[in-house]
Structure 1
Amino acid sequence: MTVALSGSDLPAGLRDSADGCWMGICTDWGAENLVVGGKSFDTGFVIQCEIACDNTESGFFQIKLSGKYTKLDATFGIAADSPGSDKTQTLAVKVLDQGTGAVLFSKTLEYGKSYTLKGFDISKVGLLRISFDGPLAATHGAVGAPVVRR
């Protein structure tokens, strides 16, 4: 069984963080027509900073898996429509098991590149967090077509 984490069909109870803006950090769980590293996705996540932003912003998407899912498929990168003109800026992305504090995956994201996880092991994870750190006003963190599987 495959469950899409973005778009309008997200099952109730899976989303464990806000959709919208809080303290200047804005998350969009249902981004459409997303381009990440030259790859196009119908849906995904996008995170950005809109108020009082600097180069050390942090934001996240949190998914309540309750140990019911075993695999994650997702493509990470900087959204192609990010407004920044400095294409050397980067973002850090981490996939974390919030229950144990373990970092399951981390990568430095660069403009024009994408990093895909396919069949990534998330078994026994209760609360999954995808976090982005860096200049989120100029470089919007993006996750293309994230899905979990049982």
Structure 2
Amino acid sequence: MPKHEAIKVPDTDHLMRYVPYKQQVRDAETNAFKGIANTAFQIRPSDKGGLSTTWVEHYGAKGPATYGAAASAFRDSLPSKKLGATAYFAVGNVGATREKCLDKGKSIRLVVVPDGTNTGHVEIHKFSDEDRELLDILAIDVFGEHVAVSNLPLS
């Protein structure tokens, strides 16, 4: 297993988690986006070693252009090189993520693990997805900012 450079992700910074359509909460009648489901924080087969996120500030000051740069880097690291047209990114604060996980007895560790073009790829280690209450907290309270892929300035 390759060693990764010890880079500390500041508590003031933010992480993005890709949320495909099936992990979104939608209005039953209109199909309008209402939020993200706690399943968005379940560890996926593609999450190699920890919960996969992208560090926003690695690409610049937090804002729409940086979200676009981070999302583009994430997209380009995928085998398909595609993001779902109805997908969203959930954005959450690093310090709040650490705090809420610690409140639930999980002393997580953020590890910067570049993944191809996504040099801001961060894995959340020492995280398990068995605690549904923690997944709800992450989905609702911590990663409460949602950015539609269709609204991003992708390069």
Bin for the TM-score computed over the shorter chain:
under 0.3
> Normalising by structure 2, what TM-score?
0.27
Bigger fraction of residues in helix: 2
Give TM-score scaled by structure 1 length: 0.27
Q: Relative to total residues, which structure has the larger strand share, 1 or 2?
A: 1
